[in-house]
């Protein structure tokens, strides 16, 4: 395949199952064959196609008469039988196929695109299939943060990841990667590396503290080889909307984990940690993976869980508080473990506390779990917590909200690293409140404002600027 790609050609891998009726209909449309005839070796010679039966245990004889008919009849492009679903991430899907660009970038394309767009336009709509070679081009190939996560402390630390591919001719030796939360820079990571042309490397970035209900996170390559930009800056940035929601509270000090690892079970590890970052329970491949083993590819079969098995784990929480449940994948992506199923359940299985499927979890897709012997009852009702000005330029905030009972409240400000930067006690009255609060001189950035009273908390994000 590398020889084909080095000739500047694009490869399309069309995965199918002999027992898939829609696959058979798409196959009979002759779309792949027509593309092969027009753009293959006997046409313009810019495209190579492979149609592959990817299901496990399917004998080659099924291609000539299994399922719906003879899959080779009338076809001149290569057709094969191979257990490669875990490599091309297709799993016999009848709505998509895998396209590999000359610069080694793999994309999933939908078959309807082939119906709606002529071949050259498909390439123009896909990232990475650039027509010309750039001298210096660091491609932000992938970045990772969980998209939706439940929390019990209004926020959580996350450590983003970035995968950088060298799509230019010069070796990449130096990078500066910036993380922005709601358009405010919160972290800048200097990376010294050595990435040859077409190679890619994955890096951990600095931890950031995200708060509910949502944050918009941008991860951008700002410098390449000590230059403020490269020759193709359009592919340097990726955007993540992150949604955090309040978690349900466990009133029992134990819960169950039902795990069906699927393929490559030896790559999995999970842990429950307390508020002091101490591990109180763990499972899977403890010795070879662990909390920091994501993407290292050091685990071996026979350790930890066994593939295609079912496991029940019981976790005992030692005290009330907020805990984190963390998954780590030594494989570094969701493909080998695409059939993973994990359920967090009450001890009597009457209630579900969460579900994790085959999503990507290289750095540990995680969720928070709160344990309280009795759930708190909120004693006040409020409406429309408004903070102004926002952004704030001076050292004073105006808090506006309604409450149905007079009480004492604690005003707090937290920075993106989770540090408490200000705390004050306030008196609030029944009805409409408009309170002026003086705040300390703070660096520019994003902050969380919290107003705590009795068993309730109001929160709002603000930006401090100068």
298 shares a domain with 267: yes
Q: What is the mean pLDDT of the chain?
A: 81
The pLDDT value given to residue 361: 44
How confident is the model over 415-450, as pLDDT tens digits?
A: 766 678 888 989 888 888 889 999 988 877 778 888
Mean pLDDT of 367-383: 64
In a domain, 129, yes or no: no
Domain boundary pick from 371, 401, 421: 371
In a domain, 256, yes or no: yes
256 shares a domain with 240: no
CATH number at residue 35: 3.40.30.10
324 shares a domain with 285: yes
In the chain, what percentage of residues exceed pLDDT 70?
A: 82
The pLDDT value given to residue 85: 61
In a domain, 20, yes or no: yes
Burial 189-215 (b: 16+ CB within 10 A, else e): bebeeebebbebbbeebeebbbbbeeb
Residues 182 and 461: beta-carbon distance below 8 Å: yes
Domain boundary pick from 244, 262, 291: 244
How confident is the model over 324-350, as pLDDT tens digits?
A: 888 888 876 544 445 677 888 888 887
Count structural domains, the chain: 4
The pLDDT value given to residue 241: 79
269 shares a domain with 236: no
pTM of model > 0.75 = no
256 shares a domain with 232: no
112 shares a domain with 6: yes
Question: CB-based burial of residue 40 (10 Å sphere; 0-12 exposed, 13-18 middle, 19+ buried)?
Answer: buried
The pLDDT value given to residue 380: 46
449 shares a domain with 411: yes
Rounded CA-CA distance 393/405 in Å is: 32
411 shares a domain with 345: no
Domain boundary pick from 326, 351, 371: 371
Residue 191 pLDDT more than 90? yes
The pLDDT value given to residue 401: 87
The pLDDT value given to residue 117: 47
In a domain, 193, yes or no: yes
Residues 299 and 288: beta-carbon distance below 8 Å: yes
236 shares a domain with 255: no
Predicted confidence band at 377 (pLDDT cuts at 50, 70, 90)?
Answer: very low
Distances (CA, A) of 288 to 201, 267, 277, 435: 21, 8, 20, 55
Residues 331 and 297: beta-carbon distance below 8 Å: yes
The pLDDT value given to residue 304: 93
The pLDDT value given to residue 167: 86
Mean pLDDT of 135-163: 83
CATH number at residue 419: 2.60.40.2550
Who wins on pLDDT, 404 or 9?
9
The answer to which of 87-101, 122-136, 363-377, 426-440 has the lowest mean pLDDT is 87-101
For the chain, the three-class secondary structure string (H helix, E strand, C coil) is: CHHHHHCCCEEEEEEECCCCHHHHHHHHCCHHHHHHHHHCCCCCCCEEEEEEECCCCCCHHHHHCCCCCCCCCCCCCCEEECCCHHHHCCCCCCCEEEEECCCCCEEEEEHHHHHHCCHHHHHHCCCCCCCCCECCCEEEEEEECCCEEEECCCEEEECCEEEEEECECCCEEEEEEEEEECCEEEEEEEEEEEECCCCEEEEECCCEEEECCEEEEEEEEEEECCECCCCCHHHCEEEEEEEEEECCEECCCEEEEEEECCCCHHHEEEEEECCCCCEEEEEECCCCCCCCCCCCCCCCCCCCCCCCCCEEEEEECCCCEEEEEEEEECCCCCCCCCCCEEEEECCCCCCEEEEECCCCCCCCCEEEEEECCCCCCCCCCEEEEEEECCCECCCEEEEEEEECCCEEEEEEEEECCCCEEEEEEEEECCEEEEEEEECCCCCCEEEEEEEEECCEEEEEEEEECC
169 shares a domain with 77: no
355 shares a domain with 288: yes
In a domain, 89, yes or no: yes
In a domain, 133, yes or no: no
Mean pLDDT of 148-174: 86
CATH number at residue 146: 2.60.40.10
How confident is the model over 64-111, as pLDDT tens digits?
A: 987 688 999 999 999 998 876 656 544 434 456 788 888 777 776 655
CATH number at residue 347: 2.60.60
In a domain, 377, yes or no: no
Mean pLDDT of 400-405: 84
How confident is the model over 344-358, as pLDDT tens digits?
A: 888 888 777 776 654
How confident is the model over 215-268, as pLDDT tens digits?
A: 889 999 999 999 888 998 988 999 887 877 777 788 889 999 988 887 788 988
User: What is the span of the domain harbouring residue 400?
Assistant: 382-464
In a domain, 166, yes or no: yes
The pLDDT value given to residue 91: 40
The pLDDT value given to residue 32: 86
Rounded CA-CA distance 256/261 in Å is: 16
The pLDDT value given to residue 87: 61
Residue 359 pLDDT more than 70? no
The pLDDT value given to residue 379: 45
160 shares a domain with 234: yes
Residue 461 pLDDT more than 50? yes
Who wins on pLDDT, 426 or 466?
426
Predicted confidence band at 466 (pLDDT cuts at 50, 70, 90)?
Answer: low
The pLDDT value given to residue 161: 85
Predicted confidence band at 405 (pLDDT cuts at 50, 70, 90)?
Answer: confident
For the ranges 16-20, 186-190, 454-458, 461-465, the one whose mean pLDDT is highest: 186-190
The pLDDT value given to residue 278: 93
The pLDDT value given to residue 335: 42
């Amino acid at each position: 395949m590398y020889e084909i790609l080095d000739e500047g050609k694009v490869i399309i891998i069309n995965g199918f199952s002999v027992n898939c009726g829609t696959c058979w209909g798409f196959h009979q449309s002759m779309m792949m064959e027509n593309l092969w005839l027009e753009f293959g070796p006997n046409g313009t010679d810019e495209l190579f196609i492979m149609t592959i039966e990817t299901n496990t245990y399917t004998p080659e004889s099924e291609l000539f008469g299994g399922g719906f008919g003879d899959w080779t009849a009338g076809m001149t492009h290569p057709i094969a039988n191979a257990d490669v679903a875990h490599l091309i991430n297709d799993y016999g899907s009848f709505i998509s196929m895998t396209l590999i660009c000359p610069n080694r970038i793999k994309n999933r394309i939908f078959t309807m695109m082939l119906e709606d767009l002529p071949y050259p336009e498909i390439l123009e709509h896909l990232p990475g299939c650039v027509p010309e070679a750039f001298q210096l081009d660091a491609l932000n190939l992938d970045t990772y943060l969980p998209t939706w996560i439940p929390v019990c402390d209004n926020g959580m630390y996350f450590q983003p990841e970035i995968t950088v591919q060298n799509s230019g001719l010069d070796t990449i030796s130096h990078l500066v990667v910036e993380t922005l939360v709601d358009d405010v820079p919160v972290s800048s990571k200097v990376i010294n590396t050595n990435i040859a042309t077409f190679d890619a490397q994955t890096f951990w970035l600095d931890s950031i503290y995200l708060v509910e209900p949502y944050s918009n996170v941008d991860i951008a390559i700002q410098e390449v080889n000590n230059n403020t930009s490269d020759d193709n800056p359009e592919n340097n940035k990726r955007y993540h909307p992150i949604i955090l929601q309040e978690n349900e509270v466990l009133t029992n000090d134990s819960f169950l984990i039902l795990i069906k690892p699927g393929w490559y079970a030896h790559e999995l590890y999970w842990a429950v940690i307390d508020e002091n970052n101490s591990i109180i329970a763990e499972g899977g491949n403890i010795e070879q993976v662990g909390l920091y083993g994501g993407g290292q590819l050091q685990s071996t079969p026979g350790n930890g869980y066994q593939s295609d098995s079912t496991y029940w784990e019981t976790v005992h929480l030692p005290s009330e508080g907020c805990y984190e449940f963390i998954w780590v994948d030594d494989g570094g992506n969701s493909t080998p473990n695409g059939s993973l199923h994990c359920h967090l359940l009450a001890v009597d299985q009457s209630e579900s506390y969460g579900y994790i499927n085959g999503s990507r979890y290289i750095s540990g897709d995680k969720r928070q779990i709160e344990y309280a012997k009795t759930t708190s009852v909120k004693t006040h009702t409020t409406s429309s917590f408004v903070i102004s000005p926002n952004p704030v330029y001076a050292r004073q905030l105006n808090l506006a909200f309604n409450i149905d009972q007079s009480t004492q409240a604690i005003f707090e400000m937290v920075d993106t690293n989770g540090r408490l930067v200000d705390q004050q006690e306030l008196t609030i009255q029944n009805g409409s409140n408009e309170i002026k609060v003086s705040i300390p001189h703070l660096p520019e950035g994003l902050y969380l404002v919290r107003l705590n009273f009795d068993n309730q908390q109001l929160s709002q994000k603000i930006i401090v600027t100068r």
